[in-house]
Protein backbone atom coordinates (compact mmCIF):
# COMPACT_ATOMS: atom_id res chain seq x y z
CA UNK A 1 0.00 0.00 0.00
CA UNK A 2 2.77 2.40 0.99
CA UNK A 3 4.90 1.55 -2.04
CA UNK A 4 1.93 2.04 -4.34
CA UNK A 5 1.24 5.43 -2.81
CA UNK A 6 4.88 6.49 -3.23
CA UNK A 7 4.86 5.38 -6.86
CA UNK A 8 1.71 7.38 -7.32
CA UNK A 9 3.24 10.59 -5.88
CA UNK A 10 6.67 10.23 -7.47
CA UNK A 11 5.76 11.73 -10.89
CA UNK A 12 4.18 14.77 -9.22
CA UNK A 13 7.19 15.29 -6.99
CA UNK A 14 9.59 15.10 -9.93
CA UNK A 15 7.45 17.56 -11.85
CA UNK A 16 7.53 19.96 -8.90
CA UNK A 17 11.31 19.74 -8.64
CA UNK A 18 11.72 20.37 -12.39
CA UNK A 19 9.34 23.34 -12.21
CA UNK A 20 11.28 24.84 -9.30
CA UNK A 21 14.58 24.46 -11.16
CA UNK A 22 13.07 26.11 -14.25
CA UNK A 23 11.75 29.03 -12.21
CA UNK A 24 15.18 29.60 -10.66
CA UNK A 25 16.48 30.35 -14.14
CA UNK A 26 13.44 32.22 -15.44
CA UNK A 27 12.66 34.38 -12.37
CA UNK A 28 15.55 34.23 -9.90
CA UNK A 29 14.23 37.27 -8.02
CA UNK A 30 11.45 35.09 -6.64
CA UNK A 31 14.06 33.17 -4.65
CA UNK A 32 15.99 36.24 -3.38
CA UNK A 33 15.54 37.18 0.24
CA UNK A 34 14.37 40.78 0.78
CA UNK A 35 13.79 42.83 3.88
CA UNK A 36 11.07 45.00 2.33
CA UNK A 37 9.94 46.61 -0.94
CA UNK A 38 10.48 50.40 -1.18
CA UNK A 39 7.44 52.35 -2.33
CA UNK A 40 9.41 55.31 -3.71
CA UNK A 41 12.86 55.50 -5.22
CA UNK A 42 15.09 58.21 -6.64
CA UNK A 43 13.69 57.59 -10.12
CA UNK A 44 10.04 57.67 -9.15
CA UNK A 45 7.57 54.91 -8.36
CA UNK A 46 9.43 51.66 -7.69
CA UNK A 47 12.61 51.50 -9.76
CA UNK A 48 11.08 52.16 -13.21
CA UNK A 49 12.34 55.32 -14.93
CA UNK A 50 9.82 57.64 -16.53
CA UNK A 51 9.88 58.03 -20.30
CA UNK A 52 7.73 61.18 -20.38
CA UNK A 53 9.45 64.01 -22.33
CA UNK A 54 10.30 67.30 -20.65
CA UNK A 55 10.69 70.65 -22.39
CA UNK A 56 12.26 72.37 -19.39
CA UNK A 57 15.68 72.75 -21.03
CA UNK A 58 14.16 74.01 -24.30
CA UNK A 59 12.00 76.58 -22.52
CA UNK A 60 14.64 77.84 -20.10
CA UNK A 61 15.98 80.45 -22.55
CA UNK A 62 12.50 81.45 -23.72
CA UNK A 63 11.24 81.99 -20.19
CA UNK A 64 14.15 84.34 -19.52
CA UNK A 65 13.08 86.44 -22.52
CA UNK A 66 9.48 86.98 -21.32
CA UNK A 67 8.76 89.85 -18.92
CA UNK A 68 5.91 91.08 -16.74
CA UNK A 69 4.49 94.49 -17.63
CA UNK A 70 2.58 96.75 -15.25
CA UNK A 71 1.17 99.91 -16.81
CA UNK A 72 -0.26 102.75 -14.75
CA UNK A 73 -3.39 104.15 -16.41
CA UNK A 74 -5.25 107.31 -15.47
CA UNK A 75 -8.79 106.26 -14.54
CA UNK A 76 -11.73 107.46 -12.43
CA UNK A 77 -11.65 106.68 -8.73
CA UNK A 78 -11.61 102.94 -8.16
CA UNK A 79 -10.39 100.26 -5.82
CA UNK A 80 -7.25 98.69 -7.25
CA UNK A 81 -6.39 95.21 -6.02
CA UNK A 82 -3.14 95.17 -8.00
CA UNK A 83 -1.65 97.87 -5.78
CA UNK A 84 -1.39 95.16 -3.14
CA UNK A 85 0.31 92.74 -5.53
CA UNK A 86 3.78 92.03 -4.06
CA UNK A 87 5.29 91.84 -7.56
CA UNK A 88 4.02 95.32 -8.36
CA UNK A 89 4.94 96.63 -4.91
CA UNK A 90 8.55 95.56 -5.50
CA UNK A 91 8.59 97.31 -8.86
CA UNK A 92 7.34 100.54 -7.27
CA UNK A 93 10.29 100.53 -4.87
CA UNK A 94 8.27 102.13 -2.10
CA UNK A 95 6.74 104.91 -4.21
CA UNK A 96 3.10 105.78 -3.59
CA UNK A 97 0.34 105.75 -6.19
CA UNK A 98 -2.88 107.70 -5.78
CA UNK A 99 -5.45 104.90 -5.89
CA UNK A 100 -8.22 107.38 -6.58
CA UNK A 101 -6.87 108.45 -9.96
CA UNK A 102 -4.90 105.51 -11.31
CA UNK A 103 -5.45 101.94 -12.32
CA UNK A 104 -2.84 99.28 -13.00
CA UNK A 105 -3.08 97.06 -16.07
CA UNK A 106 -1.00 93.93 -16.28
CA UNK A 107 0.41 92.08 -19.24
CA UNK A 108 3.48 90.46 -20.68
CA UNK A 109 6.21 91.29 -23.17
CA UNK A 110 9.07 89.67 -25.07
CA UNK A 111 12.65 90.93 -25.04
CA UNK A 112 13.55 91.58 -28.67
CA UNK A 113 17.10 92.95 -28.44
CA UNK A 114 20.09 93.08 -26.14
CA UNK A 115 19.65 96.87 -26.15
CA UNK A 116 16.41 96.52 -24.18
CA UNK A 117 13.66 96.65 -26.81
CA UNK A 118 10.54 94.76 -25.74
CA UNK A 119 7.57 93.98 -27.97
CA UNK A 120 4.10 93.69 -26.47
CA UNK A 121 0.46 94.36 -27.31
CA UNK A 122 -0.63 97.95 -27.73
CA UNK A 123 -3.65 97.39 -25.50
CA UNK A 124 -1.31 96.43 -22.64
CA UNK A 125 0.34 99.87 -22.48
CA UNK A 126 -2.22 102.10 -24.22
CA UNK A 127 -2.79 105.46 -22.45
CA UNK A 128 -0.30 104.53 -19.72
CA UNK A 129 1.36 107.21 -17.58
CA UNK A 130 4.07 104.88 -16.42
CA UNK A 131 5.28 101.44 -17.53
CA UNK A 132 7.14 99.08 -15.22
CA UNK A 133 8.82 95.86 -16.34
CA UNK A 134 9.75 92.84 -14.22
CA UNK A 135 12.27 90.33 -15.54
CA UNK A 136 12.32 86.59 -14.93
CA UNK A 137 15.60 86.95 -12.99
CA UNK A 138 13.96 89.26 -10.45
CA UNK A 139 15.26 92.60 -11.78
CA UNK A 140 12.90 95.44 -12.61
CA UNK A 141 13.04 98.74 -14.47
CA UNK A 142 10.88 101.57 -15.73
CA UNK A 143 10.25 101.44 -19.47
CA UNK A 144 9.92 104.17 -22.09
CA UNK A 145 7.55 103.95 -25.03
CA UNK A 146 9.30 103.68 -28.40
CA UNK A 147 6.22 103.47 -30.60
CA UNK A 148 2.86 101.82 -31.20
CA UNK A 149 0.93 100.31 -34.08
CA UNK A 150 -2.76 100.12 -33.11
CA UNK A 151 -3.62 98.62 -36.50
CA UNK A 152 -1.91 95.37 -35.47
CA UNK A 153 -2.22 95.90 -31.69
CA UNK A 154 1.55 95.90 -31.24
CA UNK A 155 3.85 98.25 -29.36
CA UNK A 156 7.55 98.54 -28.55
CA UNK A 157 8.93 99.71 -25.22
CA UNK A 158 12.53 99.93 -23.99
CA UNK A 159 14.34 99.35 -20.70
CA UNK A 160 17.88 100.37 -19.72
CA UNK A 161 19.29 97.12 -18.33
CA UNK A 162 22.23 94.93 -19.37
CA UNK A 163 22.66 91.17 -19.69
CA UNK A 164 19.24 90.70 -21.26
CA UNK A 165 18.06 87.54 -23.01
CA UNK A 166 16.40 88.27 -26.37
CA UNK A 167 13.98 85.68 -27.71
CA UNK A 168 15.19 83.35 -30.45
CA UNK A 169 13.47 83.76 -33.82
CA UNK A 170 13.24 80.78 -36.23
CA UNK A 171 14.99 80.94 -39.59
CA UNK A 172 11.79 79.61 -41.17
CA UNK A 173 9.01 81.93 -40.06
CA UNK A 174 6.22 79.70 -41.38
CA UNK A 175 4.63 77.52 -38.69
CA UNK A 176 2.30 74.64 -39.48
CA UNK A 177 -1.02 73.49 -38.07
CA UNK A 178 -0.27 70.72 -35.60
CA UNK A 179 3.04 72.19 -34.39
CA UNK A 180 3.54 72.00 -30.63
CA UNK A 181 3.60 75.43 -28.96
CA UNK A 182 3.91 76.94 -25.48
CA UNK A 183 2.31 80.18 -24.26
CA UNK A 184 4.52 82.03 -21.75
CA UNK A 185 3.26 85.02 -19.83
CA UNK A 186 1.88 86.52 -16.64
CA UNK A 187 -1.76 85.33 -16.44
CA UNK A 188 -3.86 87.17 -13.87
CA UNK A 189 -0.67 88.53 -12.28
CA UNK A 190 0.22 85.11 -10.87
CA UNK A 191 3.77 85.33 -12.17
CA UNK A 192 5.47 83.64 -15.08
CA UNK A 193 3.51 80.63 -16.30
CA UNK A 194 3.73 78.21 -19.22
CA UNK A 195 0.83 76.44 -20.94
CA UNK A 196 1.09 73.92 -23.76
CA UNK A 197 -0.96 73.27 -26.89
CA UNK A 198 -0.72 73.08 -30.65
CA UNK A 199 -1.26 75.44 -33.55
CA UNK A 200 -4.93 74.84 -34.32
CA UNK A 201 -5.28 77.20 -37.28
CA UNK A 202 -3.60 80.01 -39.20
CA UNK A 203 -4.47 83.28 -40.91
CA UNK A 204 -7.58 83.89 -38.78
CA UNK A 205 -9.06 87.24 -39.80
CA UNK A 206 -12.32 89.21 -39.97
CA UNK A 207 -12.65 88.91 -36.20
CA UNK A 208 -13.02 92.64 -35.64
CA UNK A 209 -10.09 92.84 -33.22
CA UNK A 210 -7.55 94.74 -35.34
CA UNK A 211 -7.42 96.51 -38.68
CA UNK A 212 -4.90 93.96 -39.93
CA UNK A 213 -5.55 90.40 -38.81
CA UNK A 214 -3.80 87.15 -39.64
CA UNK A 215 -3.82 85.38 -36.28
CA UNK A 216 -2.35 82.05 -35.26
CA UNK A 217 -5.01 80.04 -33.45
CA UNK A 218 -3.87 77.84 -30.57
CA UNK A 219 -5.42 75.80 -27.77
CA UNK A 220 -2.59 76.72 -25.40
CA UNK A 221 -4.22 78.62 -22.54
CA UNK A 222 -4.14 82.41 -23.05
CA UNK A 223 -5.69 84.37 -20.18
CA UNK A 224 -5.83 87.96 -19.00
CA UNK A 225 -2.24 89.01 -18.39
CA UNK A 226 -0.85 86.74 -21.12
CA UNK A 227 -1.31 89.52 -23.68
CA UNK A 228 2.03 90.49 -25.20
CA UNK A 229 3.71 87.28 -24.09
CA UNK A 230 5.47 84.67 -26.19
CA UNK A 231 4.16 81.77 -28.23
CA UNK A 232 7.13 79.40 -28.47
CA UNK A 233 7.65 76.31 -30.62
CA UNK A 234 9.19 73.01 -29.49
CA UNK A 235 12.65 74.30 -30.46
CA UNK A 236 12.35 77.24 -28.07
CA UNK A 237 11.81 79.78 -30.86
CA UNK A 238 9.35 82.68 -30.90
CA UNK A 239 6.54 82.07 -33.40
CA UNK A 240 3.96 84.57 -32.18
CA UNK A 241 2.89 87.27 -29.73
CA UNK A 242 -0.07 86.15 -27.61
CA UNK A 243 -2.89 88.65 -27.97
CA UNK A 244 -6.38 87.48 -27.05
CA UNK A 245 -8.76 84.70 -26.17
CA UNK A 246 -11.55 84.47 -28.73
CA UNK A 247 -14.87 85.91 -27.59
CA UNK A 248 -18.02 85.17 -29.58
CA UNK A 249 -19.92 88.46 -29.51
CA UNK A 250 -22.99 86.95 -31.18
CA UNK A 251 -23.50 84.50 -28.31
CA UNK A 252 -21.77 86.58 -25.60
CA UNK A 253 -19.64 83.58 -24.71
CA UNK A 254 -15.94 83.04 -24.27
CA UNK A 255 -14.86 80.08 -26.35
CA UNK A 256 -12.74 77.35 -24.82
CA UNK A 257 -9.36 76.55 -26.31
CA UNK A 258 -9.26 79.33 -28.92
CA UNK A 259 -6.32 81.60 -28.21
CA UNK A 260 -4.99 84.07 -30.78
CA UNK A 261 -1.41 85.17 -31.42
CA UNK A 262 0.14 87.58 -33.92
CA UNK A 263 2.58 85.68 -36.18
CA UNK A 264 6.27 86.44 -35.77
CA UNK A 265 6.69 87.65 -39.36
CA UNK A 266 4.16 90.45 -38.77
CA UNK A 267 5.55 91.23 -35.31
CA UNK A 268 9.13 91.34 -36.60
CA UNK A 269 8.26 93.80 -39.38
CA UNK A 270 6.35 96.07 -36.98
CA UNK A 271 9.27 95.92 -34.53
CA UNK A 272 11.77 96.84 -37.25
CA UNK A 273 9.67 99.77 -38.47
CA UNK A 274 9.06 101.21 -35.01
CA UNK A 275 12.70 100.89 -33.91
CA UNK A 276 14.10 102.41 -37.12
CA UNK A 277 11.36 104.95 -37.96
CA UNK A 278 9.37 105.41 -34.78
CA UNK A 279 6.20 104.22 -36.51
CA UNK A 280 4.89 101.76 -39.08
CA UNK A 281 4.62 103.35 -42.52
CA UNK A 282 2.15 101.74 -44.94
CA UNK A 283 1.01 102.40 -48.46
CA UNK A 284 -2.47 103.93 -48.89
CA UNK A 285 -4.89 104.06 -51.79
CA UNK A 286 -7.71 105.94 -50.06
CA UNK A 287 -10.82 103.85 -50.65
CA UNK A 288 -13.72 102.36 -48.73
CA UNK A 289 -15.13 99.15 -50.11
CA UNK A 290 -17.37 96.17 -49.54
CA UNK A 291 -16.82 92.51 -50.37
CA UNK A 292 -18.08 91.67 -53.83
CA UNK A 293 -19.80 88.29 -54.05
CA UNK A 294 -19.78 85.94 -57.03
CA UNK A 295 -23.56 85.95 -57.57
CA UNK A 296 -23.69 89.75 -57.92
CA UNK A 297 -20.60 89.64 -60.11
CA UNK A 298 -22.24 87.24 -62.55
CA UNK A 299 -25.70 88.83 -62.59
CA UNK A 300 -24.66 92.47 -62.89
CA UNK A 301 -21.25 92.46 -64.53
CA UNK A 302 -21.20 89.01 -66.17
CA UNK A 303 -17.82 88.34 -64.56
CA UNK A 304 -16.61 84.86 -63.73
CA UNK A 305 -14.78 85.46 -60.46
CA UNK A 306 -15.45 84.82 -56.80
CA UNK A 307 -14.81 88.19 -55.20
CA UNK A 308 -13.68 91.72 -55.87
CA UNK A 309 -13.69 95.14 -54.26
CA UNK A 310 -16.76 97.29 -54.87
CA UNK A 311 -15.87 100.88 -54.00
CA UNK A 312 -18.34 102.43 -51.59
CA UNK A 313 -16.29 105.60 -51.15
CA UNK A 314 -13.18 107.40 -52.38
CA UNK A 315 -11.37 109.88 -50.10
CA UNK A 316 -11.00 113.37 -51.52
CA UNK A 317 -7.52 114.09 -52.88
CA UNK A 318 -6.45 110.53 -52.11
CA UNK A 319 -4.31 108.50 -54.54
CA UNK A 320 -7.47 106.72 -55.72
CA UNK A 321 -9.27 110.03 -56.31
CA UNK A 322 -6.33 111.55 -58.15
CA UNK A 323 -6.06 108.43 -60.34
CA UNK A 324 -9.74 108.68 -61.34
CA UNK A 325 -11.43 105.93 -59.34
CA UNK A 326 -15.07 106.51 -58.33
CA UNK A 327 -17.61 104.99 -55.95
CA UNK A 328 -19.32 102.06 -57.68
CA UNK A 329 -16.17 100.93 -59.51
CA UNK A 330 -15.45 97.21 -59.22
CA UNK A 331 -11.72 96.59 -58.73
CA UNK A 332 -10.71 93.17 -60.06
CA UNK A 333 -6.89 93.32 -59.95
CA UNK A 334 -4.08 95.04 -58.06
CA UNK A 335 -1.08 94.97 -60.38
CA UNK A 336 -1.52 91.56 -62.03
CA UNK A 337 -3.01 89.89 -58.96
CA UNK A 338 -6.64 88.79 -59.17
CA UNK A 339 -8.56 89.90 -56.09
CA UNK A 340 -9.80 86.67 -54.55
CA UNK A 341 -9.69 87.69 -50.89
CA UNK A 342 -10.25 91.27 -49.77
CA UNK A 343 -8.07 90.85 -46.68
CA UNK A 344 -5.09 89.72 -48.76
CA UNK A 345 -5.69 92.60 -51.16
CA UNK A 346 -5.74 95.12 -48.32
CA UNK A 347 -2.49 93.70 -46.97
CA UNK A 348 -0.96 93.80 -50.45
CA UNK A 349 -1.51 97.55 -50.74
CA UNK A 350 -0.40 98.42 -47.22
CA UNK A 351 2.84 96.46 -47.55
CA UNK A 352 3.90 98.69 -50.46
CA UNK A 353 5.89 101.81 -49.69
CA UNK A 354 4.37 105.28 -50.07
CA UNK A 355 5.28 106.60 -53.50
CA UNK A 356 5.02 103.16 -55.09
CA UNK A 357 3.06 102.75 -58.30
CA UNK A 358 0.02 100.48 -58.14
CA UNK A 359 -1.73 99.30 -61.29
CA UNK A 360 -5.47 99.01 -60.67
CA UNK A 361 -7.79 97.13 -63.04
CA UNK A 362 -11.47 97.86 -62.53
CA UNK A 363 -14.90 97.58 -64.13
CA UNK A 364 -17.19 100.58 -64.67
CA UNK A 365 -20.47 100.47 -66.58
CA UNK A 366 -19.62 96.99 -67.82
CA UNK A 367 -16.30 98.14 -69.30
CA UNK A 368 -12.77 97.27 -68.19
CA UNK A 369 -10.16 99.95 -67.53
CA UNK A 370 -6.71 100.16 -65.95
CA UNK A 371 -5.16 103.11 -64.14
CA UNK A 372 -1.92 103.65 -62.22
CA UNK A 373 -2.11 105.19 -58.75
CA UNK A 374 0.80 106.63 -56.77
CA UNK A 375 0.33 105.40 -53.21
CA UNK A 376 0.32 107.81 -50.30
CA UNK A 377 1.04 107.22 -46.61
CA UNK A 378 -1.72 105.47 -44.73
CA UNK A 379 -3.12 107.66 -41.92
CA UNK A 380 -2.96 106.02 -38.52
CA UNK A 381 -6.76 105.88 -38.26
CA UNK A 382 -7.29 104.08 -41.60
Active site residues: 123, 153, 227
Write a three-state SS string for 187-203.
HHHCCCEEEEEEEEEEE
Write a three-state SS string for 295-333.
HHHHHHHCCCCCCEEEEEEECCCCHHHHHCCCCCCEEEE
Q: What stretches of the chain show up as alpha helix (H) in DSSP?
A: 2-26, 56-64, 86-92, 122-125, 264-277, 294-301, 319-323, 342-350
Longest alpha-carbon distance in the chain: 126
Question: Which among 253, 176, 247 has a CA at the least distance from the CA of 216?
Answer: 176
Question: Which among 275, 326, 330 has a CA at the least distance from the CA of 299?
Answer: 330
In angstroms, the CA 258 to CA 306 distance is 29
In angstroms, the CA 378 to CA 123 distance is 21
Question: Which among 331, 324, 332, 334 has a CA at the least distance from the CA of 359?
Answer: 334
In angstroms, the CA 252 to CA 242 distance is 22
Strands 102-111 and 117-121: antiparallel
Question: Which among 229, 213, 148, 253 has a CA at the least distance from the CA of 350?
Answer: 213
CA pseudo-torsion sign 197, 202, 208, 213: positive
Amino acid sequence: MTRSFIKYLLPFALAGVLLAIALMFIAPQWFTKTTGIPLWSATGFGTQKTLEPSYADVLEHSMASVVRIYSQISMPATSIALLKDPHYANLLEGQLIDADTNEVHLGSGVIASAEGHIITNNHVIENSKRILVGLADGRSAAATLVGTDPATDLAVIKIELVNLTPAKVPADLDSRVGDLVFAIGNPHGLGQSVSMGIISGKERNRLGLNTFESFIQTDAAINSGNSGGALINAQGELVGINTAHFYNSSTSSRSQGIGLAIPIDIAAEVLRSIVTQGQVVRGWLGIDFSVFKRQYSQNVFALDQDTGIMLSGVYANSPAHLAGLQPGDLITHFDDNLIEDWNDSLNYVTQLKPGSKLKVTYRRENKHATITAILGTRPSAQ
